[in-house]
């Protein structure tokens, strides 16, 4: 018997970052939007814990106990006094180390899949608490849709989304380390007064009404200057997508994936083609949002 869970990637339509806290994390107003690029995680009973991964970026995914899917299985097993004897297979389609929360997605998916496989009877709140222990972005991968994340991003308030948004994602060569990007944010803001992060009312309205033009005008990412500082070539990718007709362009989370909001599916294909021929990225993917959270297939 095996269980498969499908789980989406995310883009941060607003990422407001406060000053570093004493624990090293940053308080956020993190407006997550799940997008329709998916990993699939399948769990099967096995002798001991084993992880495999398939897909074009599989070689970049760690297959040891640091994998967030393994950590999720171990955390759930420990709580319920079960041995984590499971083969976890990740069919990976979400760019790795790209600021689209692929590892977090696999953590949430493995947790839900193991919960079903082992019939632990864990409540949704228990699963969300384990997600928050695994990482700041993991609870959102379980929930999907759109949500405001406060604290370090793990405390979620769902947001209703009143329409469909079309995106193009330009996948960069190589990844960016999330702690390195936050570290660069600290370096760039040193000596300045970093305001407390707050969600933008205009952005929340644009999501609720499904207004693409209003959302385009309200997108923001406080980590973008840090990502551009560490990877200056991303400016060329952002310019190429904008020149091709994207309504707005920004770095996705800590990057280096760049996100382009476009008017419709036709425009998405045009912008993706232009990005591919521009030579400023490794791949370009189209996707729509919102997407549902981790769910059993
Ligand atoms: C930037 C964001 C935006 O959604 O995601 P990515 O773009 O990387 O996917 C998140 O804040 C990443 O969340 P996640 O990748 O889960 O981070 P965690 O594992 O919790 O933390 C990794 C490291 O990132 C930094 N970190 C993370 C979250 C936060 N609120 N403040 C931080 O300073 C810390 O250095 C921490 O040690
Ligand atoms: N299941 C997983 N898939 C991808 N990366 C993982 C996974 N588990 C742990 N990682 C580690 O997390 C790092 C960040 O990967 P990822 O979550 O894809 O990107 P990001 O944090 O930028 O959204 C990777 O470089 C990898 O070492």
Tell me the CATH number at 79: 3.30.230.10
In the structure encoding, which two tokens stand for residue 286, read together?
């189209």
Nearest residue (by CA) to ligand 1, atom 23, is: 179
Kindly give the number of the ligand 2 atom that is closest to the alpha carbon of 97: 19
Residue with tokens 């380390």: 177
Is 295 part of a structural domain of the chain? no
137 is catalytic: yes
Are residues 115 and 182 part of one domain?
no
Are residues 217 and 154 part of one domain?
no
Are residues 10 and 141 part of one domain?
yes
CB atoms inside a 10 Å sphere around CB 297: 11
- What's the gap in Å between 99 CA and the centre of ligand 1? 9
- The confidence score (pLDDT) of residue 27 equals 98
Residues 90, 54: contact at Cβ < 8 Å?
yes
Tell me which of 108, 135, 159 is where a domain ends. Answer: 159
Are residues 170 and 266 part of one domain?
yes
pLDDT digits (tens, 9 = 90+) for 194-223: 999 999 999 999 999 999 999 999 999 999
Is 64 part of a structural domain of the chain? yes
Is 297 part of a structural domain of the chain? no
- The confidence score (pLDDT) of residue 247 equals 98
Are residues 183 and 138 part of one domain?
no
**Domain residue limits at 126:** 3-159
Are residues 149 and 22 part of one domain?
yes
Question: H-type helices in the chain, by residue range?
Answer: 68-80, 102-118, 124-134, 138-143, 178-189, 201-209, 212-218, 224-230, 234-243, 265-278
In the structure encoding, which two tokens stand for residue 164, read together?
């469909």
Kindly give the number of the ligand 1 atom that is closest to the alpha carbon of 138: 16
Q: Is 100 annotated as a binding residue?
A: yes
Q: Is 83 annotated as a binding residue?
A: no
Is 21 part of a structural domain of the chain? yes
Q: Considering the candidates 64, 137, 193, 205, report the single residue annotated as catalytic.
A: 137
Q: Is 245 exposed, middle or buried (0-12, 13-18, 19+ CB in 10 A)?
A: middle
Kindly give the number of the ligand 2 atom that is closest to the alpha carbon of 71: 8
Ligand having the closest approach to the CA of 65: 2
Residues 35, 287: contact at Cβ < 8 Å?
yes
ipTM of this model? 0.97
Are residues 230 and 133 part of one domain?
no
Q: Is 96 annotated as a binding residue?
A: yes
Residues 31, 201: contact at Cβ < 8 Å?
no
**What values do phi and psi take at 229, rounded to 5?**
-65, -40
- What's the gap in Å between 84 CA and the centre of ligand 2? 21
| CA pair distance 74, 18, nearest whole angstrom | 32
Are residues 190 and 84 part of one domain?
no
Are residues 253 and 201 part of one domain?
yes
- The confidence score (pLDDT) of residue 24 equals 95
- The confidence score (pLDDT) of residue 115 equals 98
| CA pair distance 69, 74, nearest whole angstrom | 9
Q: At what angle do helices 234-243 and 265-278 cross, to 10 degrees?
A: 140
**SS3 label, residue 162:** coil
- What's the gap in Å between 254 CA and the centre of ligand 1? 8
**What total of structural domains would you count in the chain?**
2
- List the pLDDT tens digit at each of the 297 positions of the chain: 999 999 999 999 999 999 999 999 999 999 999 999 999 999 999 999 999 999 999 999 999 999 999 999 999 999 999 999 999 999 999 999 899 999 999 999 999 999 999 999 999 999 999 999 999 999 999 999 999 999 999 999 999 999 999 999 999 999 999 999 999 999 999 999 999 999 999 999 999 999 999 999 999 999 999 999 999 999 999 999 999 999 999 999 999 999 999 999 999 999 999 999 999 999 999 999 999 999 999
Q: Is 101 annotated as a binding residue?
A: yes
User: What DSSP designation does 292 have?
Assistant: B
Is 294 part of a structural domain of the chain? no
Tell me which of 159, 185, 216 is where a domain ends. Answer: 159
- The confidence score (pLDDT) of residue 106 equals 98
**Does an H or E element contain 213, and which?**
helix 212-218
270 is catalytic: no
Of 266, 275, 292, which Cα lies nearest the Cα of 166? Answer: 266
Are residues 182 and 153 part of one domain?
no
**SS3 label, residue 208:** helix
Ligand having the closest approach to the CA of 102: 2
Tell me which of 143, 159, 175 is where a domain ends. Answer: 159
Q: Considering the candidates 10, 39, 57, 92, report the single residue annotated as catalytic.
A: 10
- CB-based pocket (< 6 A), ligand 2: 61-62, 66-69, 90, 96-104, 106, 175, 178, 254
How much of the chain exceeds pLDDT 70, in percent? 100
- What's the gap in Å between 103 CA and the centre of ligand 1? 11
SS3 content of the chain, % helix, strand, coil (to 5): 35, 30, 35
| CA pair distance 232, 234, nearest whole angstrom | 5
**What values do phi and psi take at 120, rounded to 5?**
-75, -25
């Amino acid at each position: 018997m095996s269980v498969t869970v499908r789980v989406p990637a995310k883009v941060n339509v607003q990422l407001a970052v406060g000053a570093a806290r004493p624990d090293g994390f940053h308080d956020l107003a993190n407006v997550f939007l799940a997008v329709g690029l998916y990993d699939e995680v399948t769990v099967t009973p096995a002798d001991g814990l084993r992880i495999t991964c398939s897909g074009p970026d599989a070689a970049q995914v760690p297959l040891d106990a640091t994998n967030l899917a393994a950590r999720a299985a171990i955390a759930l097993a420990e709580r319920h006094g079960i041995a984590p004897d499971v083969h976890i297979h990740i069919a990976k389609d979400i760019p790795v180390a790209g600021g689209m929360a692929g590892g977090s997605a696999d953590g949430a998916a493995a947790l839900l899949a193991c919960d079903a496989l082992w019939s632990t009877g864990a409540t949704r709140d228990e699963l969300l608490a384990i997600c928050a222990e695994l990482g700041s972005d993991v609870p959102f991968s379980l929930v999907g849709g759109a949500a405001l994340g406060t604290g370090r991003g793990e405390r979620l308030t769902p947001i209703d989304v009143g329409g469909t948004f079309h995106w193009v994602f330009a996948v960069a060569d190589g990844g960016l380390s999330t702690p390195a990007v936050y570290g660069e944010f600290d370096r760039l803001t040193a000596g300045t007064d970093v305001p407390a992060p707050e969600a933008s009312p205009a952005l929340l309205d644009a999501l609720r009404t499904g207004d693409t033009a209003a959302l385009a005008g309200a997108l923001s990412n406080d980590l973008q200057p840090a990502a551009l500082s560490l990877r200056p070539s991303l400016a060329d990718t952002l310019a190429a997508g904008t020149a091709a007709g994207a309504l707005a362009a920004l770095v996705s989370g800590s990057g280096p994936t760049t996100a382009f909001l476009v008017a419709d599916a036709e425009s998405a294909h045009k912008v993706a083609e232009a990005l591919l021929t521009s030579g400023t990225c490794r791949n370009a993917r189209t996707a729509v949002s919102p997407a549902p959270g981790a769910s059993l297939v």
